[in-house]
Amino acid sequence: MADDAAKQCGTKQVDPKAKQPIQGIKNIVAVASGKGGVGKSTTAVNLAVALAQQGQQVGLLDADIYGPSIPNMMGLKGRKPEVDAASKILYPLENFGVKVMSIGFLVGDEQAMIWRGPMVAGALGQLLKDVAWGELDVLIIDMPPGTGDAQLTLSQTVPVTGAVVVTTPQDIALIDCKKGIQMFDKVHVPTLGIVENMSVFICPHCQGESHIFDQGGAETLSAQFNTDIIAKVPLNMEIRKNGDAGTPIVAADPDAEVAKIYRQMAQAVTDKIGVFNKRKITIPVMAG
Ligand SMILES: Nc1ncnc2c1ncn2[C@@H]1O[C@H](COP(=O)(O)OP(=O)(O)OP(=O)(O)O)[C@@H](O)[C@H]1O
Ligand SMILES: [Mg+2]
């Protein structure tokens, strides 16, 4: 099955030794999904801010070269990063305690839409390596939808600790989500866990629960891939409003129930990073 997914997105076996770590960055976590519009960017932003609130050094890289939404969601729209004239190194912008870099800071909204694969790969490579990230415990990467150039470039150029895979509960989103997991699997990026987004809608008037996007799908996926569900985030108007306003809900209203869910997600990601790094260290390296 993984081979089918690899054929579909043209992946090849990758030599893990070809990946170069970025100096100063301890862990790279991709927030991904095979499907568009499931809430990857919203998850990435709130996860990054929640990790920073827990005292970690956090970076957030917008890898959605065609449709960058991080400048807006992080309240940094219209800002330009400083560039070192001699070295051409970019300095990330910062908000809510998170260092942020996005192609959206550098080109107009329409400009990147016409880029082809190699240009996307080049731009992403630069955003990863030609940025003065400094010392980071974790760099969160907001991935574009699908299993295309950005996913391959990322997984082939830097060691990615793992992916947080976002899905909505219904079948169609899960099918795309499976493709995403299989693709990362093929390029040796483990799945840290599944986030079921828009899990349930709780009516603000009667407190009744509605499963607008169905229910139970993430459990099936989790069992199939032997991966934990690390959070179930409800469909919540405040998440959307604060996302649009550039004030992630974990920062805007830290006492909200949903903010607590994002903080638990951040803790789960930290725990998983620990488990996966330990696993890497304890796997014996075969000679030759
Ligand atoms: N849990 C949620 N409750 C309410 N609205 C949400 C939730 N998660 C995301 N949204 C909203 O859904 C829309 C899509 O979310 P987002 O941009 O994060 O998705 P995406 O997967 O990154 O999309 P794309 O594939 O286009 O990059 C946004 O308007 C966002 O505010
Ligand atoms: Mg997005």
Q: 3-state class of 39 per DSSP?
A: coil
Q: What is the pLDDT of residue 116?
A: 65
Entry pTM: 0.89
* Nearest residue (CA) to ligand 1, atom 28: 240
What's the rounded Cα separation, in Å, for the pair 69 and 112?
A: 13
From 240, 249, 257, give the residue whose CB has the most ligand 1 atoms within 8 Å, as the site to mutate: 240
> Is residue 105 over pLDDT 80?
yes
Q: Which residue has the higher pLDDT, 99 or 4?
A: 99
User: Could you give the percent of the chain with pLDDT greater than 90?
Assistant: 51
Beta-strand ranges (E) seen in 143-252 are 162-167, 191-202, 209-210, 229-235
Q: Which residue has the higher pLDDT, 178 or 28?
A: 28
> Is residue 2 over pLDDT 70?
no
* Nearest residue (CA) to ligand 1, atom 18: 39
Q: What angle do CA 67, 73, 74 make, to 5 degrees?
A: 120
Cα(43) to ligand 2 centroid in Å equals 9
Amino acid at 144: P
Over residues 151-191, the pLDDT tens digits come to: 888 888 899 999 999 999 887 777 887 888 888 888 889 99
Burial of residue 259 (number of CB atoms within 10 Å: 0-12, 13-18, 19+): buried
In a domain, 286, yes or no: no
In a domain, 285, yes or no: no
CATH code of the domain containing 248: 3.40.50.300
Provide the domain limits for residue 137.
23-277
Cα(243) to ligand 2 centroid in Å equals 11
- The neighbouring-strand residues paired with 197 are 233
209-210 vs 162-167, strand pairing mode: unpaired
In a domain, 3, yes or no: no
Q: 3-state class of 230 per DSSP?
A: strand
Amino acid at 175: I
CB of residue 198 inside a 6 A radius of ligand 1: yes
Ligand 2 ion: nearby residues, β-carbon < 5 Å:
40-41, 69
CB of residue 40 inside a 6 A radius of ligand 1: yes
In a domain, 47, yes or no: yes
* Nearest residue (CA) to ligand 1, atom 23: 37
Instruction: Name which of 51-55, 273-277, 282-286 the model is least confident about.
Output: 282-286
> Is residue 106 over pLDDT 70?
yes
Q: What is the pLDDT of residue 281?
A: 62
In a domain, 111, yes or no: yes
Cα(144) to ligand 2 centroid in Å equals 6
In a domain, 288, yes or no: no
Chain mean pLDDT for the chain? 86
For the CA of 38, the closest atom of ligand 1 is: 21
What six digits make up the tokens of 25? 């960055």
In a domain, 131, yes or no: yes
Q: What is the arithmetic mean of pLDDT over 4-19? A: 49
CB of residue 37 inside a 6 A radius of ligand 1: yes
Over residues 47-78, the pLDDT tens digits come to: 999 999 999 999 999 998 888 999 999 999 99
Q: What is the arithmetic mean of pLDDT over 80-100? A: 94
In a domain, 41, yes or no: yes
Q: Which ligand is nearest to the CA of 145?
A: 1
Phi, psi of 17, rounded to the nearest 5 degrees: -70, -20
Cα(40) to ligand 1 centroid in Å equals 7
Q: Which residue has the higher pLDDT, 257 or 206?
A: 257
Cα(67) to ligand 2 centroid in Å equals 7
Q: Which ligand is nearest to the CA of 37?
A: 1
Domain count, the chain: 1
